[in-house]
Amino acid sequence: MGPISAEVEVDAPREAVFELISDLARRPTYTDHFLTGFRLTRIEARGVGAGARFRVNAPLRSPWEDTTIVELEPPFKIVERGAGGRSNRIPNHTVWEVEPGRAGMTLLRVTHWTTPKEHIDKLVEALSFGARYQRKGWKKTLNRLRDILEAEGPGGERIAVAGGNRYATGIP
């Protein structure tokens, strides 16, 4: 499926936009309309290697998917790779690009695609209207991101890994 792209202009500094999207612990704040059950895969939710597992609310497909940040070019680009579908056999890719926009605005673009190898996975993605569903979900994600950034800056609630506070404070 894909690639699917969506973009939006945000009235916020590029660095603030980059900070918010590069923190996987804040991801549920703006993606929970189609990505639910968000769980971090390691304590550090930022930087290369940070990852998360979540449920994609889409028809006719295995719901679980994961993503890991594999490349960061602050404040311009974040590249994520993961897997999803049945037995995690469908690779997925997400690229976030943050560019200067018109009149002091910041242009934010997200591109997402999957590369199923098995014929049954290709068929299921074709039958499930995955591209249409994903395009709509990513567009709404960007609109929610814009609203968060323009209203309050890169705040919002963060999720945490169980036991994360003990790790951070040194309490056994």
Domain regions of the chain by residue span: 4-169
pLDDT digits (tens, 9 = 90+) for 66-116: 999 999 999 999 999 999 887 888 899 999 999 998 888 999 999 999 888
4-169: CATH topology is Alpha-D-Glucose-1,6-Bisphosphate; Chain A, domain 4 (3.30.530)
pLDDT digits (tens, 9 = 90+) for 41-56: 998 999 999 999 999 8
Q: Which of 24, 36, 28, 30 is nearest to 10 (CA)?
A: 30
d(CA 100, CA 48): 24
